[in-house]
């Protein structure tokens, strides 16, 4: 059975009207938008989500980083948790309908997240990336080890281009998460289409 690979777009901390207009053009080709705006207040984030609703983005496509309260208030798809966030068991026990993802950087962290009830993990960075310029990338071999060991979906992040997408999915990733690769692209709309095409060309079945 062929399983579609997902495209997650991560906001870059500077969400603006320009970002909003791009989302409006590409929303059909992305699976989820992660609202990752660390320096914005709860009110700011609620306003961003309201603006996204106004352009027709379904709440089922929105994942809020860290702010469980906002994800619940707006009935978004889920929340992306980090090491400083509320624990997965607490979130799942309190809000069982909320999808809970965990950002991980090692197999041990990923296995713990799965054991605690995470619906998926976000793992990276796979390749060198602008946002992690001084950190060693983890690479495809470590990604393969993780996807072999886990039963929950693993989404890969970090330096993934449309050209690299196939080798990432071949290593078992359930999809990819992209930030600067889309927001900073010369032609973001065309770039999203290239990511989508690469993801759709995956011929494997359920892992």
Active site residues: 125
Nearest C-alpha neighbor of 9 from the set 88, 80, 67, 72:
80
- Torsion angle of C-alpha atoms 180, 183, 184, 189, degrees rounded to 10: 130
Cβ-contact 62, 49 below 8 angstroms: yes
């Amino acid at each position: 059975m062929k399983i579609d690979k997902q495209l997650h777009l991560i906001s870059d901390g500077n969400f603006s009207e320009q970002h909003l207009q791009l989302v409006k053009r590409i929303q059909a080709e992305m699976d989820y938008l992660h609202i990752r705006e660390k320096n914005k207040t709860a009110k700011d984030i609620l306003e961003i989500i309201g603006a996204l609703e106004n352009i027709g983005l379904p709440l089922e496509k929105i994942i809020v980083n860290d702010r469980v309260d906002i994800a619940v208030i707006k009935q978004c798809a889920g929340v992306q948790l980090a090491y400083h966030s509320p624990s997965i068991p607490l979130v799942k026990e309190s809000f069982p309908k909320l999808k809970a993802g965990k950002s991980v950087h090692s197999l041990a962290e990923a296995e713990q997240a799965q054991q605690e009830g995470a619906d998926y993990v976000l793992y990276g960075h796979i390749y060198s990336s602008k946002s992690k310029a001084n950190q060693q990338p983890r690479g495809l071999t470590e990604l393969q080890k993780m996807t072999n060991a886990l039963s929950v979906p693993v989404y890969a992040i970090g330096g993934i281009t449309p050209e690299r997408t196939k080798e990432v999915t071949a290593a078992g990733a359930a999809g990819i998460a992209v930030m600067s690769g889309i927001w900073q692209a010369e032609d973001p709309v065309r770039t999203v289409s290239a990511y989508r095409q690469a993801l759709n060309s995956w011929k494997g079945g359920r892992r």
